[in-house]
């Protein structure tokens, strides 16, 4: 029994050392953030079509022109942009710390929304100018009906116009868990304890010796 106890202690100790040295759990800790943008509607496919928006915000030219030159090379492996439901675009960013992940994704979202708002305002301004010009235009009685129809269509177009909007603000969704050498050592020790109990309690783990019986029988005095 004492021999088994020492064997169990050795098993636990060795598992603890192996666990502390194992590579699993040594991965760099990461933080993943996400955000969702619902695209606008103002008859501009570059900003109102989800597939085209994904191509835009995953292109170096967008960042060089509207964010920061050569910044895309620093974030392109961390940023994932995908088409989502209801003409929306889903953004995720994975960084080495929470502040970086939240900050960089916010920077991307704000750059796109600012550019979208500029194009939206330009289109709205053009429609308003057309409405004003058409309203002041003097026409003959024969074309008055056409004028009112065009004016009505322009006014409806202006009412239906909406810019892109953020439907899910930038937020942290995942924090990876890393194990220290101490944690891995404790885990290894627990595994060693489990193996030790199995070895001691499992019937096959105990050595059984068959009983031996003497092949000689006692000779009685009558047989002599």
What are the phi and psi torsion angles at 169 (to 5°)?
-70, 160
Return the minimum-mean-pLDDT range out of 22-31, 112-121, 154-163, 195-204: 195-204
Tokens of 143: 């074309």
Query: So where are the chain's domains?
Result: 31-120+163-175
Alpha carbons within 13 A on the beta-carbon side of 80: 8
Tokens of 55: 């191509």
Return the minimum-mean-pLDDT range out of 24-28, 141-145, 172-176: 24-28
Check residue 51 and give its pLDDT: 97
Check residue 183 and give its pLDDT: 54
Cα dihedral value 20, 25, 29, 32, nearest 10: -160
pLDDT of residue 13 exceeding 80, the answer is: no
b/e 178-200 (16+ beta carbons within 10 angstroms → b)? ebeeeebbebbbebbeeebeeee
pLDDT of residue 49 exceeding 90, the answer is: yes
Check residue 219 and give its pLDDT: 45
Mean pLDDT (the chain) is 80
Q: Which DSSP state fits 205?
A: G
State pLDDT tens for residues 59-105.
999 999 999 999 999 999 999 999 999 999 999 999 989 999 999 99
Mean pLDDT of 7-11: 62
d(CA 151, CA 153): 5
Parallel/antiparallel/unpaired status of strands 79-84 and 31-38: unpaired
pTM over 0.75: no
Tokens of 178: 């890393």
Mean pLDDT of 170-197: 62
pLDDT of residue 180 exceeding 60, the answer is: no
Q: Confidence class of residue 182 from pLDDT cuts 50, 70 and 90?
A: low
Check residue 192 and give its pLDDT: 58
Check residue 181 and give its pLDDT: 55
More confident call, 180 vs 167: 167
Domain 31-120+163-175, CATH: 3.30.70.1130
pLDDT of residue 135 exceeding 50, the answer is: yes
More confident call, 215 vs 33: 33
Mean pLDDT of 21-35: 72
- What DSSP line would sit under 53-96, residue for residue? HHHHHTSHHHHHHHT-TT-HHHHTTTEEEEEETTTEEEEEEEES
């Amino acid at each position: 029994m004492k021999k088994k106890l020492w064997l169990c202690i050795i098993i636990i100790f060795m598992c603890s050392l192996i666990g502390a040295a194992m590579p699993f759990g040594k991965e760099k800790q990461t933080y993943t953030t996400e955000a969702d943008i619902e695209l606008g509607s103002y008859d501009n496919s570059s900003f109102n079509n989800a597939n085209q928006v994904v191509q835009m915000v995953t292109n170096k030219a967008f960042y060089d022109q509207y964010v920061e030159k050569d910044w895309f090379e620093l974030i392109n492996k961390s940023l994932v942009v995908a088409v989502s439901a209801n003409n929306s675009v889903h953004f995720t960013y994975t960084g080495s710390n929470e502040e970086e992940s939240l900050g960089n994704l916010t920077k991307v979202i704000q750059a796109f929304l600012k550019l979208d708002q500029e194009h939206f305002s330009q289109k709205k301004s053009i429609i308003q100018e057309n409405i004003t010009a058409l309203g002041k235009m003097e026409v003959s009685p024969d074309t008055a009906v056409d004028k009112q129809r065009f004016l009505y269509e322009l006014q409806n177009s202006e009412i239906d116009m909406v810019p892109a909007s953020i439907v899910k603000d930038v937020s942290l969704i995942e924090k990876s868990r890393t194990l220290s050498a101490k944690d891995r050592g404790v885990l290894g020790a627990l595994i060693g304890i489990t193996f030790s109990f199995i070895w001691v309690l499992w019937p096959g783990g105990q050595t059984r010796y068959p009983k031996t019986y003497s092949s000689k029988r006692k000779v009685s005095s009558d047989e002599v």
